[in-house]
Homo-oligomer: A and B are copies of this chain.
Amino acid sequence: MATFQTVKGFRDFDPEACARRNFIFDTWRRVARRYGFVEYEVPVLESTDLFRKKSGDEITSQLFCFKDKADRELSMRPEVTPSLARLAAARQRDYKKPLKWFQIGSCFRYEEPQEGRTREFIQFNADILGDTSPGTDAELIALAIDTMIEFGVSAEDFAIRLSNREIWNTFLTDHNIPAEQTGTFLQIIDKIERAKPEETAKKLEAIGLSLGTVRAFMDSANADHPAFADLRANLTARGLWQHVRIDATIVRGLAYYTGTVFEVFDLKHGLRAIAGGGRYDKLCALMSDGKADMPAAGFAMGDVVLGILLDKTPGAQFKLTSAVQDALSIDATLVIADEAQRPHALAALQTLRARDLRIDYAFAPAKVGKQFQAAEDRKARYAIVFGAEYPQITLKDLVARTQEEIPAHSLADTLTQRLAQPPTGPLIA
């Protein structure tokens, strides 16, 4: 039998990869809390109908879906929003509006894996439910911007692409295009950057528009459009408007979004969108058959493209690497140089860990040199030597390559104090 492998498009997170993941989680969580968002979670497995209801039957081709032993049609979630709508609709009377909720968890899509796309990926979802004011949209865009900045990605490295369904509605009205053509038209716009110009021109002509007219409007679409007025004033007051580019080609999910739409994208590497979202005022009503008519807006940020960007962005890379190094290191290793002192070392182990210090030790008798090597391997900052001199013990700073003799009873206090200081390397390298 061949060695077992992970399922295609799924990932193992070894300790280093998991520390990277946790750096991303911690950053998402910290910024969301700062913004007054509270965390929720929903199941990774839902009834397939939940996703059909939002996205239509076609969605099942992209789902990990199956029938369970009781013939229930179930799917691993491709996204979290339908579950959020289910939960918020069911519980809407229990919460004061607006709800500012965030979630972090895995989603699953049966798609061909490629650069920046895996079958399992982790999303950060932030949504505000129960409020229609443009301030809501501004709060979400500000959260997306501050999240990127907190990662160490700066204004030279990313921007927000912003649009609003309204600007196309105005355009279509101005050009006397009937409302029933809106869907077809937006599908053309959604693909305009990737499609051949002659094909786009042909499709536009079929609904009575020329590519020139559309292109001219797109080029002229700017922040002066009234659809952006409140958003612009709000983000300007926060000092964040500099991160925003108006881009009329941003349409995103067609049936889904109803107003503001935006993406976070990188400015240097041409990666896929790092995050995307917008206003979706009709989804809660749809998912609850009208029982809960809650306006909403939100965005999702995935971990895969973001991870690629962090690696390519020096400021972010530095933060990420520091966090990973910290997660993989410990504060001290106990070196038991005299086996007779093992019980004292174990008692100290307990005392130090009770102070929330990260301590390791050799489970079985081993040579002192091997124990020091283990301390280096575990990236311990200190080695604490329990030898025949006990109750005197030796505290070795493995970074500064210095050492001091201290009485055992002062170990916890001394070590806590030493660890509060940043490590210093040896004067002579």
Nearest B residue to A138 via CB reads B363
Contact size range, A: 35 or more
In the A-B complex, the 6 residue pairs with the closest CB atoms: A135-B363, A66-B66, A36-B360, A237-B346, A133-B364, A237-B343
> A53 to chain B: which residues have CB within 8 Å?
1, 4
Q: Which of B41, B50, B120 contacts A21 (CB 8 A)?
A: B41
Shortest beta-carbon distance from A131 to chain B in Å = 6
Name the residue on B nearest A83 (C-beta): B12
Contacts of A3 in B (CB 8 A): 86, 89-90, 288-289, 291
B residues near A91, Cβ cutoff 8 Å: 14
Would you give the shortest CB distance from A150 to chain B, in whole angstroms? 9
Contacts A/B (CB < 8 Å), 20 sampled:
A1-B289, A3-B89, A4-B46, A7-B43, A8-B72, A12-B43, A13-B41, A19-B38, A38-B328, A43-B120, A44-B106, A45-B120, A66-B67, A69-B110, A136-B363, A138-B363, A146-B353, A234-B346, A237-B346, A238-B350
A39 to B16, CA, bound (A): 9
| Residue A10 is within 8 A (CB to CB) of chain B in the complex | yes
Bound-complex Cα distance A346 to B288 (A): 35
Instruction: Contacts A6-B42, A45-B108, A131-B363 known; list 11 others, CB within 8 Å.
Output: A10-B43, A14-B40, A14-B94, A15-B40, A34-B353, A34-B357, A44-B44, A98-B363, A131-B364, A134-B363, A238-B349
Contact A14 B87 (CB under 8 A): yes
Determine if A374 is an interface residue (Cβ-Cβ < 8 Å). Answer: yes
CA distance A13 to B80 in the complex (A): 13
**A234: chain B residues within 8 A (beta carbon):** 346
A38 B327 Cβ-Cβ under 8 A = yes
Least distance between A370 CB and chain B CB atoms (Å)? 11
Does A68 contact B74, Cβ atoms closer than 8 Å? no
CB within 8 Å of B: which A272-304 residues: 287-289, 291
Interface positions of A (Cβ within 8 A of B): 1, 3-8, 10-15, 18-19, 21-22, 30, 33-36, 38-47, 49-50, 53, 61, 64, 66-69, 72, 74, 76, 83, 86-87, 89-91, 94, 96, 98, 100-101, 106, 108, 110, 120, 131, 133-136, 138-139, 142, 146, 233-234, 236-240, 287-289, 291, 327-328, 330, 342-344, 346-347, 349-350, 353, 356-360, 362-364, 374, 377-378
Query: In the complex, what distance in Å separates the CA atom of A333 from the CA atom of B186?
Result: 39
Q: Which residues of B contact A94 (CB under 8 A)?
A: 14
Task: From B96, B238, B346, give the contact of A347 (CB < 8 A).
Answer: B238
